[in-house]
């Protein structure tokens, strides 16, 4: 390195006192600035922590306040509940006292007077009422409100000792009360009340007449036979419900002398009456039952057509099979299902091809399988066995399928092996 260059380097690297002073000042400023920054950051952190702590304290305070509020409200509700319970208990007690007081007032009147009785009571029956645990209910049987009387009657429906009081209610001026009295006496099966109930077959109210018919099922054979003419008279009642009840009673009594009237009701304007008449005609085994049941297959009402098919099943009327087959395309699903059921019950072998074709029908498949089982034709077996592995045939449908195969003579082990193949 030359002397000139050496001199220049020395000048550059040599620090004068002023330079050193300026450097010291710079260093001091840097340190102060760094400390200031650190202090600022520290203050920010402390302030942030303070705010967070304040928020948490405020939240905790709110939670404590809400908890205290809920706790206090819960205590208030507990107190209110206790007060309500006390009020209910007092009301029950007051009601019991009022009933007892009412009983004493009605039964005894003034303390100086002898005990009073109602028009339908004797002193003896009054004493009986007083000893009965339901004596307070007996008082309500004389209440001016018919709904109260009716409720009282049904409240006595398990007390046979109340029968004398309930029998008196058969002459109540309100028709609902009379019907209620009939129902309760029938439930209690009070035999001695049956003749009195049967007198209401001529009641002015249709519901009472209809309810009174039910007594025919509870009375003795002699009384029932004596009542048959009156029951037959109700076949021409103006109310369809009464006519239906009378038809069923005629069937129960096996009153074959009523067959002409029953045949007349096959053209009744009410479909329900026509259904009842068809069932009664089959039940009476009238010689014209087959003819009129076949004729009813063309009735405009689906329920009547269904009842006609059922009659033909009960009559084992294979000769009516062509007419029944015609209804396989009936617009009503219920009718179509009864038709398929009829094929099975009538063991109509000629319908097997039809039934095999119906196996896949979503509406009639179950009935078709059951019918094939009843008919018992071996040609149905392969078609039914194929269903054992069909995922759509499970649970209840599978049980019907297994029963059909067993009816067809397929051994259980074979059925089980087929099911295991899946």
pLDDT in tens, 81-120: 555 555 545 544 554 444 444 444 433 443 344 434 444 4
Both tokens of 86, joined, read 């006390």
Q: Say which CATH topology domain 130-203 has.
A: 1.25.10
pLDDT over 70 at 413, yes or no? yes
- Indicate the SS3 state at residue 311: helix
Q: Tens of pLDDT along 348-405?
A: 999 999 999 999 999 999 999 999 999 999 999 999 988 888 888 887 888 898 899 8
Q: What SS3 state is found at 403?
A: helix
**Cα(420)–Cα(422) distance, integer angstroms:** 5
pLDDT at residue number 419: 76
How many angstroms separate the CA atoms of 231 and 287, rounded?
A: 22
> Who contacts 386 (Cβ-Cβ below 8 Å, separation ≥6)?
none
303/394: higher pLDDT: 303
Q: Which residue bears the tokens 């092996």?
A: 417
Q: Quick: pLDDT tens for 123-162.
A: 444 454 545 667 788 889 999 999 999 999 999 988 898 9
Residues 6+ apart with CB under 8 A from 135: 103, 129
Q: What is the pLDDT of residue 286?
A: 67
Distance of CA 394 to the CA centre of its chain: 27
Longest dimension (CA), the chain: 161
Percentages helix, strand, coil for the chain (3-state, rounded to 5) are 80, 0, 20
Give the CA-trace dihedral at 275, 281, 282, 288, to 10 degrees.
-120
State how far the Cα of 276 lies from the Cα of 270, in Å rounded to an integer: 10
Backbone angles phi, psi at 339, to 5 degrees: -60, -50
**410: confidence class by pLDDT, cuts 50, 70, 90:** confident
Q: Domain segments of the chain: what residues?
A: 130-203
The whole-number average pLDDT for the span 296-300 is 96
């Amino acid at each position: 390195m030359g002397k000139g260059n050496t001199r220049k380097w020395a000048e550059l690297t040599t620090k004068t006192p002023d330079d050193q002073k300026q450097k010291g000042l710079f260093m001091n400023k840097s340190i102060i600035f760094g400390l200031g920054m650190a202090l600022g950051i520290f203050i920010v952190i402390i302030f942030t922590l303070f705010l967070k702590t304040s928020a948490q304290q405020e939240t905790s305070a709110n939670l404590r306040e809400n908890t205290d509020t809920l706790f206090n409200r819960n205590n208030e509700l507990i107190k209110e509940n206790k007060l309500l319970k006390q009020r209910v208990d007092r009301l029950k007690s007051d009601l019991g006292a009022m009933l007892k007081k009412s009983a004493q007032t009605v039964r005894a009147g003034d303390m100086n007077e002898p005990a009073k009785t109602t028009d339908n009571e004797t002193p003896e029956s009054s004493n009986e009422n007083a000893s009965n645990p339901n004596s307070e209910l007996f008082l309500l049987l004389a209440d001016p409100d018919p709904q109260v009387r009716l409720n009282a009657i049904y409240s006595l429906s398990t007390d046979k000792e109340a029968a004398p009081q309930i029998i008196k209610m058969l002459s109540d001026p309100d028709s609902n009360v009379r019907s209620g009295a009939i129902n309760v006496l029938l439930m209690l099966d009070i035999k001695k009340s049956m003749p009195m109930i049967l007198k209401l077959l001529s009641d002015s109210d249709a519901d009472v007449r209809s309810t009174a018919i039910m007594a025919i099922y509870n009375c003795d054979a002699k009384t029932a036979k004596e009542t048959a003419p009156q029951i037959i008279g109700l076949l021409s009642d103006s109310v369809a419900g009464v006519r239906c009840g009378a038809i069923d009673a005629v069937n129960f009594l096996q009153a074959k002398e009523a067959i002409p009237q029953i045949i007349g009701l096959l053209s009744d304007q009410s479909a329900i009456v026509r259904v009842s008449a068809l069932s009664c005609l089959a039940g009476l085994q009238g010689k014209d039952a087959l003819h009129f049941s076949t004729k009813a297959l063309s009735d405009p009402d689906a329920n009547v057509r269904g009842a006609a098919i059922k009659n033909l099943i009960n009559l084992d009327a294979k000769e009516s099979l062509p007419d029944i087959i015609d209804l396989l395309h009936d617009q009503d699903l219920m009718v179509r299902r009864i038709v398929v059921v009829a094929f099975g019950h009538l063991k109509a072998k000629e319908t097997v091809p039809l039934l095999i074709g119906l196996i896949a029908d979503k509406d009639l498949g179950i009935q078709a399988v059951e019918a094939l089982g009843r008919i018992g034709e071996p040609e149905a077996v392969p078609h039914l066995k194929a269903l054992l592995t069909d995922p759509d045939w499970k649970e209840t449908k599978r049980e019907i399928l297994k029963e059909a195969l067993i009816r067809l003579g397929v051994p259980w082990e074979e059925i089980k092996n087929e099911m295991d193949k899946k």
